[in-house]
Chains A and B, each alone.
Chain A
Amino acid sequence: MSWRPDASIGMLHMRAAWLKQIRTFFDARNVLEVETPILAPTTVTDPHIDSLKCRFRHRDYYLQTSPEFHMKRLLAAGSGPIYQISRVLRDDGPGRLHNPEFTLLEWYRPGFDQARLMQEIYELLARLCEPESANWDQNIAVISYRDLFGKYTDIDPLEEDMTAFLAWCDSSDHECPIDTTDSWDTALNWALSIVIQPQMKGLCFVKDYPADQAALAKVSTEDPRISRRFELYADGIEIANGFEELTDAKEQRRHFERDNRQRRLYGQEPIAIDEQFLAALEHGIPDTSGVALGLDRLLLWSSDVKSIRRTMTFGWQE
């Protein structure tokens, strides 16, 4: 009977040291630690994120996939800058980089633009990774989503051209499951996750995501095709996702409704819109940048273990 933990004792110590460092880091910057519910009557509408559902007193509830909506309600209530080390759950995977239950470090910075938030992420990473990790690199590259595609493919992600995409697939060595019935979003996600990510080296911020892939982010005022969303990759592993947060309640409602139309189209169950979250936006939240960072994956990358379960006391059990 295998009863032993998946993490080594060394990993337990590293994890505990990181939690302490994170709290010291944010405490010094006057960012308030908060805790929000894991079990709630609503959840995200994103068709690519599946929430686990459970019953409480004969009613359906969802296990939260991210603390985002609750944390934004705190911002609307005047919390000021906040962070949370939060256990979240998603109905996907499992895999080498996926555990259904994992830890997000999520924080919100009223008054920050995305550049300033990226700088803060860098400073936190330096604190966490530098002392221990051979992978730590002083320089984090910054590249736009469009330039990233230009570097590894012939695709312009901002010009929806499926014919050109499929022609590029044919000319590459990759056996591609994309056809004309797939959305542009799906095609781009395939190219990024199957072709580009495995080739990415070192730490890299990718910014200016296509607006279609950023339902909770502000759209750029210079180019309506791009959003103020960025991600952090470490040797091709997706580590963090951040935006300048969308604060317009009407725009947000339209995104939720579009998500639910897509859900119906894919045969997925539509999700009741989180009216409390929209009411909070309606009340008004300050201009804010926020980011969610996968703590387990950052530990994986820093420690060179092969699977995310090795960063967890007890990984997913079949």
Chain B
Amino acid sequence: MCGLKQSHTYVLEEKMASYNTNEFRSGLKIMLDDNPYNIIENEFVKLGKGQAFNRVKVRNLKTGQVIDKTFKSGEKVRAADIMDTDMQYLYSDGEYWHFMDQATYEQVQADKMAVGDQAQWLKEQAICKVILWNGSPIGIEPPNFVNLTVTETEPGVRGDTAQGGVKPATLETGATVRVPLFIEIGDLLKIDTRTSEYVSRAKDK
């Protein structure tokens, strides 16, 4: 099964080594100046009696930087070998974060550049999306919501739930979020990792 899947991927790569601009669509992964980019927006631009262009907005998958670019329509652009894979976060050794593909038991290690700020949401055994470029991790997407325990915060203020006041709280992974005043050390919180915002108290891990 694994072998079949791999050879199938290989054939796809061979066939899709480059894209013509008329294949452009959002989500397509392309190579520009030796860096992998994701097409966010693509617009076909042409005057009635002139050369056609594709105006695109692309995101550098390594740095997150978004740039505008135009191509002459009909140009060919190299495809980027990008795979999004769901993997389990195992542990960090201080230098690398280790992930495992639960289907193949294959492990990869992501460096600080790839993990970036997402490190603050990584809890062991969580299933994350790992973005692989030529087989190596270049980005991590944690689950949209994670449940994390408060390790440090000012003492809670009882009966103050209606006030809507907030205070900082440090979570088990080291992240700091703003929480309501009634939250105490040891509480389990549901956090939205996309906005770094407290959602609610959570019941179980």
Instruction: Name A's B-contacting residues (CB within 8 A).
Output: 46, 48-49, 92-96, 98, 174-177, 182, 185-186, 188-190, 192-194, 213-215, 231, 238, 241, 292
Contacts of A174 in B (CB 8 A): 68, 70
A193 touches B45 (CB 8 A): yes
Is B46 an interface position by the 8 A CB rule?
yes
- Residue of B47, B67, B72 touching A175 (CB-CB under 8 A): B67
Instruction: Name B's A-contacting residues (CB within 8 A).
Output: 43-53, 55, 67-73, 75
A213 touches B49 (CB 8 A): yes
Contacts of B68 in A (CB 8 A): 174-175
Tell me the bound Cα distance from A192 to B45 in angstroms: 11
Tell me the bound Cα distance from A175 to B66 in angstroms: 13
A175 touches B51 (CB 8 A): no
Give the shortest distance, in Å, between A103 (CB) and chain B (any CB): 14
| Inter-chain residue pair count (beta carbon < 8 A) | 71
A48 touches B43 (CB 8 A): no
- Residue of A96, A213, A292 touching B50 (CB-CB under 8 A): A213
B45 touches A241 (CB 8 A): no
- Known contacts: A92-B44, A95-B44, A177-B70. The answer to whether A194 contacts B49 by CB under 8 A is no
Give the shortest distance, in Å, between B40 (CB) and chain A (any CB): 15
B55 touches A241 (CB 8 A): no
Tell me the bound Cα distance from A98 to B48 in angstroms: 10
B46 touches A93 (CB 8 A): yes
- Known contacts: A94-B44, A95-B43, A194-B55. The answer to whether A175 contacts B69 by CB under 8 A is yes
B48 touches A241 (CB 8 A): yes
Contacts of B51 in A (CB 8 A): 48, 185-186, 189-190
Give the shortest distance, in Å, between B158 (CB) and chain A (any CB): 52
- Residue of B46, B67, B69, B71 touching A193 (CB-CB under 8 A): B46
Tell me the bound Cα distance from A214 to B48 in angstroms: 11
Tell me the bound Cα distance from A155 to B46 in angstroms: 20
Contacts of B48 in A (CB 8 A): 49, 231, 238, 241, 292
- Residue of B44, B50, B67 touching A189 (CB-CB under 8 A): B50
- B69, B70, B72, B73: residue with the most chain A Cβ atoms closer than 10 Å: B70
Contacts of B67 in A (CB 8 A): 175
- Residue of A95, A98, A182, A241 touching B49 (CB-CB under 8 A): A241
A185 touches B50 (CB 8 A): yes
A98 touches B72 (CB 8 A): no
A98 touches B44 (CB 8 A): yes
B52 touches A194 (CB 8 A): no
Contacts of B69 in A (CB 8 A): 175, 177
Closest 3 CB pairs of A and B: A95-B44, A189-B50, A186-B51
- A185, A189, A190, A241: residue with the most chain B Cβ atoms closer than 10 Å: A189
B44 touches A177 (CB 8 A): no
